[in-house]
């Protein structure tokens, strides 16, 4: 095809290549960024505009079984927020509904409309991988991948009890291949067994024994998975949702978890929800300073914040005991629990964060503190744990809150004052994120943490996923409506108008493993699952467009 | 790695296909071992299948029927696609209904077709577990995949359903005699309760049978909820429900004291007096019990891939069934956009019936309207609905001739294997062809409208 494009006159923010607001041309050929294109190439004039790589969302919940139950659960959420079908010149787009859990097509279009071109679904039970992949296939424009839940996997528990580490490595690699997923996710490791098997009991300490597996503790599971993923050389380390999410005093568990990594790579997700002081069952306080300091000093740790945004959210998590606990604080009567055999739990409740509520205001402020105290934007990146802390559509507002001190102060004054009073004052409260730092926490940083070498930057060889914003004083406005969005070299949004549809691809890993491991997994699946082993692995048909991201061992 | 499409051994004209899936009922058993006579195009053995599954496979034959009929006359698939596309493109209120016996791949395309046309899409859910979908929106649910139930459940309660006849392997594979991780002694490790208005074939496996008076399910559920919460219950309840207070209290104690309990409910509950109130009550009872122990309440669903239909329609539109696109975006309103209602009121002016036979099970008023409007049917069989259709396509069988995805009643997606080729097109191929042609027709329509407008303006 040889389609080419040149972006001229724009101020480029490409932190990965050390470009901070310089005016330079970006050349595109066949969906990739190249050094140069012929002089007569079609141009996009970006005068007075800011050019960045397309946004990369490292942690969101957009597709699969639990997202779909959340959709079915909340027609009220969709009715207020419709997404019309568009009749474009070449192709029609699909209609859908929005709210905190948009339908799949709407999810893709809306990410693109915000200038995001990649998003990672953060939690799928491997048994239901087909469902996640089918939904991702119906999520247009963006590239996407997903993480498989491995922290409550019964077969791995059995292997770990017997210290069969080599087999664990092969089994994890088999599972990643069988599901076409991107990395492993641990959610409250150890918590499903007491929840499902012991009358909804919970686990609170990293050294607690796990029901039915007397040799095991959450700590052992964490260490094992950190090592396994590191040994496999996956592009992204283990992605961990620590134990005790949302509980007062949980920052200790979070610190312990990070220490358990013992210098190896680990990504701690929605860390805001894990940064609370206070007594168990008492009011939470913020321990953001302690958490931020630990991360600042330990380069093996990366994190995303999981900012809380005021307004409607949907709490949906593999952490079933957490959702059950939240029902106590919710006015909404609806609660969903969904167990997946041998692999996972799941809880869903409709939720709303309110300015006047002490806990909600404290959570909001804790997230901001983490952002403001972080010394390395490459390792503390933006997320709202969509839709848990708030929908991804609230990112522009969050960006403004980080970039605009006055705006932040105004909000501080309008939320629960008792909560704000608990936040440490200091120089950091005056900090304003620069455009370059925003480019890091929303694209360059997540791409680097994910090990996506072709994303999050604008150097030759990168995927031509590019967003061009009008410069604007009001940063919320600026980031909510890019003037141009380019995906794989195609203009999707052209002069603020949605012009082109596009199908993104699945990003997944395919680590090597010893096929002998199938002889270990097969009998277990045949005894304790309800589908045949040979029907477990998904076929290529479920990821018609895909890219394998190599491991460091390949 | 072994892939789904490849697992077959051949010897001469005999082929063995292992781990095939039976799509007859919501159990979606994926352990079929099919012996296939390729030359005769017959399945001669279906190991592991129950009577219903055997009937599905062993009675399979590629019927020697025309590829399509238009107005009762033989036609090619292409001609029928043209006719169907014309009907749909010229309709103002088209509807697609059915979808329970086809792949998710087809369902995904069918929703797209109605989105483009501004029509309505509805599945057989609206006549089986639609009330459960509505109840979910009110109260949520506590659910589980069937393997978790097999591994852990020590108390299994069937309510208003007769799996022995409708889901024959439910007991053996999942909930009664299945051997699981914490239920190694199968039925000995479980207490089975059956609650129904009548003594069905499912009662004999139960340890406890509770017969409730017809129409009193809701009252019984509500009384149980009250007892679980230690609230006072009017003794009159015994007369209303036909169940003694002692029985109720005994059941409540069992429910509170089990380690992992399950309430499976069927259409005896959702399609009788009370409907979505019944579903909401049983889902709430299941949730309430989580104060004491781990408890699940989940519907038993019949048709092969009806769960897939809900799943697909929900991820594409946000709503599970009964969705209308006439305003250019999805609207959900059961009772308004559900197929029976649209036919009875005479709202639909064209219908596409996908892998279902409403002509044989909808009310007379609905069928009368179907006879008046141009209908399009896709089905491997010559159904009642096909007989009254303007356009009837013969399509291939999913799970026998056509691969693809089906969702088990608990939401586990299963990839179907094929064992025999068919000369007929798949549902997906036909829907895709119709989609393409309708798209062309709509563009042409828009152009001519645009041209007319210009002419008018010029004049
Ligand atoms: S139980 Fe249902 S799915 Fe299983 S073999 Fe019988 S009819 Fe087929
Ligand atoms: Zn999350």
Residue B329 shares a structural domain with residue B369:
yes
Whether B300 is in the pocket of ligand 1, judged by its Cβ within 6 Å, is no
Average pLDDT over residues A227-243: 97
| Mean of all residue pLDDT scores within chain B | 94
List C-alpha distances in Å: A268 to A303, A304, A380: 5, 7, 10
Do B45 and B183 sit in the same domain of this protein? Answer: no
Percent of chain A's residues with pLDDT above 90: 91
Atom of ligand 1 nearest to the CA of B54: 5
Task: Please answer yes or no on whether A198 and B259 come within 8 Å at the CB atom.
Answer: yes
Based on the domain organization, do B84 and B179 belong to the same domain?
no
Q: In the block, which residue shows the tokens 């933006």? A: A382
What are the structure tokens assigned to B12, written together? 């001469």
The ranges of chain A annotated as CATH 3.20.20 are: 55-454+503-507
pLDDT in tens, A79-116: 989 999 988 666 689 999 999 999 999 999 999 999 99
Average the pLDDT over A157-181 and give the result: 98
- Among partner residues B4, B317, B332, which is closest to A535 by beta-carbon distance? B4
Q: What Cα–Cα distance (Å) separates residue A22 from each residue in A13, A354, A465, B329, B436?
A: 7, 41, 19, 43, 47
In chain A, count H helices and then E strands: 19, 28
Residue A2 pLDDT level (bands cut at 50, 70, 90): low
Establish if B412 belongs to a structural domain: no
Confidence of residue B457 (pLDDT cuts 50, 70, 90): low
Yes or no, beta carbons of A95 and B3 under 8 Å apart = no
Show the 3-state SS of B178-222: CCECCECCHHHHCEEEEEECCCCCCHHHCCEEEECCCCCHHHHHH
Chain A residue closest in CA terms to B138: A334
CATH T-level topology, domain A55-454+503-507: TIM Barrel (3.20.20)
**Cα(B329)–Cα(A242) distance, integer angstroms:** 39
Tell me, yes or no, whether B151 lies in a domain. Answer: yes
Dump the DSSP string for A358-374: HHHHHHHHHHHHHHHH-
Q: How far apart are the first and last CA of chain A?
A: 31
Q: Indicate whether B338 belongs to any domain.
A: yes
- In chain B, residues with a C-beta closer than 8 Å to the C-beta of A341 are 144-148, 150-151
B409 in any annotated domain: no
Cβ-in-10-Å burial (0-12, 13-18, 19+) of A552 comes to exposed
Q: Using the predicted structure, report yes or no on whether residue B45 has a pLDDT greater than 50.
A: yes
Cβ pair B123, B407 in contact under 8 A: no
Q: Using an 8 Å CB-CB cutoff, list chain B residues near A95.
A: 115, 317, 325, 328-330
- Residue ranges of E strands in A305-381: 311-317, 335-339, 347-353, 380-381
Q: What is the mean pLDDT of chain A?
A: 96
Q: How confident is the model at residue A332 (pLDDT cuts 50, 70, 90)?
A: confident
Q: How far is A25 from chain B (nearest CA, A)?
A: 39
Question: Scanning every residue of chain A, which has its alpha carbon at the shortest distance from the alpha carbon of B133?
Answer: A72
Q: Could you report the per-residue pLDDT of A335-387, keeping only the tens digit for each?
A: 999 999 999 999 999 999 999 999 999 999 999 999 999 999 999 999 999 99
Given CATH 2.30.40.10, say whether it is the number of domain A1-54+455-502: yes
| pLDDT at site B316 | 98
Nearest CA to ligand 1 atom 7: B53
Measure the CA–CA gap between A196 and A92, rounded to whole angstroms.
Answer: 46
Instruction: Answer whether residue B401 is part of any domain.
Output: no
The reply to whether B152 and B274 lie within a common domain is: yes
| Domain count within chain B | 3
pLDDT score of B88 = 98
- Residue after which a domain boundary falls, among B272, B299, B326: B299
- For residue range B58-78, list pLDDT tens digits in order: 999 988 899 999 999 999 999
A98: nearest CA partner in chain B = B318
Q: If you measure from the C-alpha of residue B356 to the centroid of ligand 1, how many angstroms do you get, rounded to a whole number?
A: 18
Contacts of A67 in chain B (CB under 8 A): 315
Contacts of B122 (CB under 8 A, 6+ apart): B95, B96, B97, B321, B322, B323, B337, B338, B339, B342
Residue B403 lies inside a defined structural domain of this protein: no
| Interface touch A528/B142, C-beta < 8 Å | no
- Closest Cα to atom 2 of ligand 1: B25
Show Cβ contacts of residue A166 under 8 Å, excluding neighbours closer than 6 positions.
none
Provide mean pLDDT across the span A13-29.
97
Give the pLDDT score at B1.
37
Choice from B19, B20, B23, B25 to test ligand 1 binding pocket (greatest atom count within 8 A of CB) = B25
Whether the per-residue pLDDT at A1 is higher than 50: the answer is: no
B230 and B135 both lie in a single domain: yes
Q: How far apart are CA B268 and CA B196, in angstroms?
A: 8
Q: How far is CA A155 from the centre of its chain?
A: 26
Same domain for B190 and B94: no
Core vs surface per residue B10-29: b (16+ CB within 10 A) or e: eeeeebbbbbbbbbbbbbbb
| B246 and B316 belong to one structural domain | no
* Alpha-carbon distances of A527 from A213, A524, B180, B231, B312, rounded to whole Å: 18, 5, 7, 42, 30
In chain A, CATH 2.30.40.10 covers: 1-54+455-502
Whether B337 and B369 share a structural domain: yes
Degrees to nearest 5, angle at CA A109 with A107 and A112: 105
Residues B168 and B155 in one domain: yes
Which one of A197, A337, A535 has the shortest CB-CB distance to B414?
A535
Whole-number pLDDT of residue B459: 54
Query: Hey, are the CB atoms on A95 and B108 less than 8 Å from each other?
Result: no
First to last CA, chain B: 69
Give the model confidence (pLDDT) of A287-306 as tens digits. Answer: 999 999 999 999 999 999 99
Is B22's C-beta closer than 6 angstroms to any atom of ligand 1?
yes
CA dist., res. A26 & res. A24, Å (int): 7
The model's confidence at residue B2, banded by pLDDT at 50, 70 and 90, is very low
From the CB of B85, is ligand 1 less than 6 Å away?
Answer: no
User: What percent of chain B shows pLDDT beyond 90?
Assistant: 86
CA distance A447 to A456: 5
Top residue of B19, B31, B148 to mutate, by most chain A CBs within 10 Å, is B148
Res B335: pLDDT: 87
The per-residue pLDDT for range A489-513, each reduced to its tens digit, is: 999 999 999 998 899 999 999 999 9
- pLDDT band, very low/low/confident/very high, at B3 (cuts 50, 70, 90): very low
pLDDT value at B402 more than 80: yes
Would you say the CB of residue B26 lies under 6 angstroms from ligand 1? no
- Collapsing DSSP to helix, strand or coil, B48 comes out as coil
Q: Residue-wise over A385-397: b if at least 16 C-beta within 10 A, else e? A: bbbbbbbbbbbbb
CATH number of residue B284's parent domain: 3.40.228.10
For the segment A386-425, what is each residue's pLDDT rounded down to a tens digit?
999 999 999 999 999 999 999 999 999 999 999 999 888 8
Final residue of a domain: which of B31, B58, B85? B58
Question: Is residue B407 situated within a structural domain?
Answer: no
Ligand 1 atom 4 nearest Cα? B29
Residue in B88, B83, B90, B78 with CA at minimum distance from that of residue B113? B88
CATH of the domain at B116: 3.40.50.740
Its domain, for residue B236, covers 130-299
Q: Note the pLDDT of residue B458.
A: 62
């Amino acid at each position: 095809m040889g389609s080419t494009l040149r972006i001229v006159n724009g101020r480029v923010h490409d932190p990965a290549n050390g470009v901070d607001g310089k005016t330079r041309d970006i050349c595109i050929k066949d969906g990739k960024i190249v050094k140069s294109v012929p002089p007569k190439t079609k141009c996009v004039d970006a005068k007075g505009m800011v050019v960045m790589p397309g946004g990369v969302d490292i942690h969101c919940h957009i597709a699969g079984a639990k997202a779909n139950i959340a959709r079915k659960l909340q027609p009220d959420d969709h009715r207020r927020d419709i997404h019309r079908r568009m009749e474009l010149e070449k192709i029609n787009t699909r209609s859908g509904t929005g709210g905190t859990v948009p339908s799949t097509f709407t999810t893709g279009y809306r990410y693109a409309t915000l200038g995001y071109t990649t998003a990672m679904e953060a939690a799928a039970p491997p048994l239901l991988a087909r469902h996640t992949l089918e939904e991702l296939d119906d999520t247009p424009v963006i590239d996407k991948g997903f993480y498989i839940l491995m922290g409550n996997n019964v077969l791995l528990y059995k292997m770990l009890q017997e210290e069969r580490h080599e087999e664990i490595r092969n089994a994890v690699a088999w599972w990643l291949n069988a599901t076409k997923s991107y990395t492993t996710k641990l959610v409250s490791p150890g918590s499903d067994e007491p929840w499902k098997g012991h009358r909804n009991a919970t686990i609170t300490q990293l050294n607690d024994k796990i029901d039915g597996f007397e040799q095991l503790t959450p700590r052992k599971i964490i260490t094992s998975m950190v090592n396994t993923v590191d040994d496999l050389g996956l592009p992204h380390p283990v992605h961990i949702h620590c134990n005790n999410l949302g509980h007062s005093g949980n920052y200790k568990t979070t610190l312990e978890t990070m220490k358990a990594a013992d210098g190896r790579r680990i990504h701690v997700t929605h860390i805001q929800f894990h940064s609370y002081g206070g007594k168990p069952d008492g009011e939470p306080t913020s321990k953001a300073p302690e958490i931020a300091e630990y991360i600042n000093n330990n380069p093996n740790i990366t994190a995303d914040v999981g900012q809380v945004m005021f307004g409607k959210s949907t709490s949906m998590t593999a952490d079933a005991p957490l959702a059950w606990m939240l029902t106590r604080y919710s006015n909404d009567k609806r609660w969903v629990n969904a167990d997946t055999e041998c692999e996972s739990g799941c809880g869903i409740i409709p939720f709303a964060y309110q300015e006047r509520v002490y806990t909600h205001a404290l959570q909001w402020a804790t997230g901001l503190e983490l952002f403001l105290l972080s010394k390395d934007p490459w390792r503390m990146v933006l997320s709202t744990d969509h839709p848990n802390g708030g929908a991804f559509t609230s990112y522009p507002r969050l960006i403004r809150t980080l970039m605009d001190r006055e705006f932040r102060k105004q909000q501080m004054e309008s939320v629960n004052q008792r909560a704000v009073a608990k936040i440490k004052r200091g120089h950091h409260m005056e900090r304003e994120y620069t455009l370059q730092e925003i480019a890091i926490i929303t694209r360059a940083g997540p791409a680097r943490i994910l090990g996506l070498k072709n994303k999050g930057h604008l150097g030759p060889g990168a995927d031509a996923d590019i967003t061009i914003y009008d410069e604007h004083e009001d940063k919320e406005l600026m980031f909510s409506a890019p003037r141009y969005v380019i995906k794989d070299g195609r203009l999707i949004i052209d002069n603020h108008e949605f012009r082109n549809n596009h199908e993104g691809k699945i990003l997944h890993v395919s680590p090597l493993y010893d096929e002998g491991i199938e002889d270990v997994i097969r009998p277990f699946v045949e005894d304790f699952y309800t589908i045949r082993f040979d029907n477990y692995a998904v076929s290529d048909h479920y990821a018609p467009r895909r890219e394998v991201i190599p491991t460091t061992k390949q | 790695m072994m892939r789904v499409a490849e697992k077959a051994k051949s010897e001469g004209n005999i082929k063995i296909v292992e781990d095939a899936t039976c799509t007859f009922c919501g159990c979606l058993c994926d352990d079929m071992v099919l012996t296939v006579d390729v030359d005769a195009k017959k399945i001669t053995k279906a190991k592991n299948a129950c009577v219903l599954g055997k009937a599905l496979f062993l009675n399979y034959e590629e019927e020697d029927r025309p590829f399509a009929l238009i107005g009762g006359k033989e036609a090619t698939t292409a001609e029928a696609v043209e006719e169907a596309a014309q009907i749909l493109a010229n309709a103002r209120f088209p509807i697609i209904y059915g979808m329970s016996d086809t792949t998710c791949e087809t369902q995904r395309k069918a929703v797209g077709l109605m989105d483009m046309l501004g029509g309505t899409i509805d599945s057989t859910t609206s006549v089986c577990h639609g009330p459960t979908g509505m109840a979910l929106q009110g109260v949520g649910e506590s659910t589980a995949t069937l393997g978790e139930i097999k591994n852990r459940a020590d108390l299994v309660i069937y309510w208003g359903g007769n799996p022995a006849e409708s889901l024959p392997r439910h007991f053996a594979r999942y909930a009664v005699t299945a051997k699981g991780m914490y239920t190694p002694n199968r039925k000995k490790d479980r207490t089975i309760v059956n609650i129904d208005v009548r003594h069905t074939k499912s009662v004999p496996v139960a340890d406890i049978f509770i017969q409730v008076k017809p129409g009193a399910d809701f009252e019984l559920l509500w009384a149980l909820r009250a007892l679980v919460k230690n609230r006072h219950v009017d003794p009159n309840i015994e007369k209303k429900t036909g169940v003694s207070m002692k029985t109720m209290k005994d059941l409540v104690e069992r429910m509170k004291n089990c380690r992992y309990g399950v309430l499976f409910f069927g259409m005896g509950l959702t399609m009788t007096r009370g409907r979505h109130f019944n579903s909401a009550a049983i889902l709430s009872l299941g949730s309430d019990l989580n104060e004491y122990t781990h408890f699940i309440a989940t519907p038993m669903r019949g048709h092969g891939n009806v769960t897939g239909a809900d799943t697909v329609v929900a991820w594409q539109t946000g709503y599970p069934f009964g969705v209308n696109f006439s305003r250019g975006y999805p609207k959900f309103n059961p009772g308004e956009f559900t197929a029976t209602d649209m036919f009875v009121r005479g709202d639909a002016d064209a219908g596409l019936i996908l892998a279902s036979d409403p002509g044989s099970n909808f009310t007379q008023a609905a069928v009368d309207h179907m006879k008046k409007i141009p209908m399009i049917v896709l089905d491997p069989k010559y159904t009642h609905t096909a007989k009254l259709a303007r356009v009837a396509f013969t399509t291939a069988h999913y799970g026998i001739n056509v691969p693809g995805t089906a969702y088990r009643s608990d939401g586990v997606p299963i990839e179907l294997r094929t064992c025999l080729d068919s000369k007929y097109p798949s549902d997906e191929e036909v829907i895709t062809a119709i989609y393409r042609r309708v798209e062309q027709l709509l563009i042409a329509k828009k152009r001519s409208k645009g041209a007319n407008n210009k002419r008018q303006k010029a004049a």
